[in-house]
Homo-oligomer: A and B are copies of this chain.
Amino acid sequence: MNKIGQYSYHLPHTPSILSYASTAGKKEGEGPWGAWFDLVVSDTKMGERTWEKGECSFQKHTLRQALKKASLSPDKLDLLLSGDLLNQCTASSYAARDIGIPFFGLYGACSTMAESLALAAMLTEGGFGPYIAAMTSSHFCTAERQYRMPLEYGSQRTPTAQWTATGCGAVLVTPDGNGPYITHVTIGSIQDWGIKDPANMGAAMAPAAYATLRHHFKDTGRTPEDYDLIVTGDLGSLGMQLVRELAERDQMKLGPRYNDCGVMLYDTKRQQVACGGSGCGCSALMLTGPILRQMEQGILHRVLFCGTGALHSPLSLGQKESIPGICHAVALSTDKE
């Protein structure tokens, strides 16, 4: 049995990250981590006629790039696990169609990078590899018109709003590699504290992020000090502050090692993104850009990657429902543990 505690699994065979790739939009490339992405594109339609087809191309390009880095042809891939924010997850499905490999679609909203990576690690641990891919994307223009307003309206944003990242991250997981290793996963259960404002997703997701952190430390017996970086995302500055407050109430000391992908991705003030970044692509870009590279370079050794998602729909909010939040945590390490 791999299970430890109520929400977590230890992966004793330590699935390894074989390769990873990131494709970022123009604005994301202009942020503080622009130089860490594999590719920054100025045309976020990727030469297609629509933003949705463009988002699909982000996925196709990123997966091919990850495969290329691992010197693998697509037909060697055992399984692709991916999802996105579009209705019916079409960026993922059409990308999987054009690559032509076994495919399981996921829906975890902005938690999808963590969900897909956790599942890829669990299935690799279970012997279903050797090559399983985890991927997700988001796109500012597809998300705005689907969740909020057509871009052409030029709607104003509230101070608690976040900016959906345009970008994609893909990770290949394999059983026998040289790391970084995936040592533990903590699976989220949904938390909903009654937030109904879709322009304040940080507050809606913060309770889920904190619950998963609490579960992870309780289940594994670890403390925040055991990590070089604990990164949630995409909570943004307000959601991150709420997690700190919840942690302080319980005397959990997150300290300076705690950060959030939504806070990190952009230069918040200069780039005018209100509370920060959001979207599946936000934590995917931070993971497959700076975080995994810094692990490879020996700057970071142990990282707790906590992807957060808001699982509402415009219709559910129209029906007076609140926003359910979820967070899955993936423990990464440069050592087998």
Q: Is the CB of A94 within 8 A of B324?
A: yes
Q: Smallest CB–CB gap between A248 and chain B, Å?
A: 25
Closest to A79 in B: B187
**Nearest CB of B to A136, in Å:** 12
Known: A104-B108, A123-B122. A78 touches B3 (CB 8 A): yes
Whether A234 sits at the interface, judged by CB under 8 Å, is no
A102→B321 CA distance, assembly (Å): 21
> Which of A36-44, A63-71, A311-319 lies on the face that meets chain B?
A311-319
Q: Are A188 and B316 in contact (CB under 8 A)?
A: no
Could you say which residues of chain B place their CB within 8 Å of the CB of A316?
A: 52, 88, 90, 94
Determine the chain B residues whose CB is within 8 A of the CB of A188 once the complex forms. 102-103
Q: Is A177 an interface residue (CB 8 A)?
A: no
Residue from the list B49, B130, B314, B321 in contact with A94, Cβ < 8 A: B321
**Interchain CA distance A150-B314 in the complex, whole Å:** 17
Contact between chains at A315 and B106 (CB < 8 Å): no
Docked pose: A321 CA to B95 CA in angstroms? 12
A192 contacts across to B, CB distance below 8 A: 97
A86→B313 contact, CB < 8 A: yes
A319-B187 in contact given A105-B115, A107-B106, A128-B126 (Cβ < 8 Å): no
Taking the nearest CB of chain B, how far is it from the CB of A133, in angstroms?
Answer: 13
Q: Mark A187-200, 1 if CB is under 8 A from B, else 0.
A: 11110100000000
> Which chain A residues in 92-149 approach chain B with CB under 8 Å?
93-94, 96-97, 100-109, 115, 118-119, 122-123, 125-128, 130
Residues of B within 8 A of A315 (CB): 52, 86-87, 90
Q: Please, which residues of chain B bring their CB within 8 A of the CB of A109? A: 88
CB-based contact A104/B106 at 8 Å: yes
CA distance A197 to B328 in the complex (A): 38
A9 B128 Cβ-Cβ under 8 A? yes
The answer, yes or no, to whether A26 is at the interface (CB within 8 Å) is no
B103 x A189 contact (CB < 8 A): yes
The smallest beta-carbon distance between A273 and chain B, in angstroms, is 23
A7 touches B (CB below 8 Å)? yes
How many Å from the CB of A63 to the closest CB on chain B?
A: 14
Residue A202 at the B interface, CB < 8 A?
no
Q: A89 in the interface, Cβ–Cβ < 8 Å?
A: yes
Find residues 1-18 in chain A having any chain B CB closer than 8 Å to their own CB. Answer: 1-3, 6-7, 9
B100/A190 in contact, CB under 8 A:
yes
Asked if A53 CB lies within 8 Å of chain B CBs, one says yes
Binary B-proximity of A262-295 (CB < 8 A = 1, otherwise 0): 0000000000000000000000000000000000
Q: Does A178 contact B (CB under 8 A)?
A: no
Residue of B nearest to A316 (CB): B90
Contacts A97-B324, A107-B83, A115-B104 hold; do A311 and B90 have CB atoms under 8 A apart? yes
What 0/1 readout, one digit per residue, does chain A (291-315) give for beta carbons within 8 Å of chain B? 0000000000000000000011111
Closest chain-B Cβ to A122's Cβ sits at a distance in Å of 6
Please list the 4 inter-chain residue pairs (A to B) with the smallest Cβ-Cβ separation, ordered nearest first. A126-B126, A93-B311, A88-B313, A102-B187
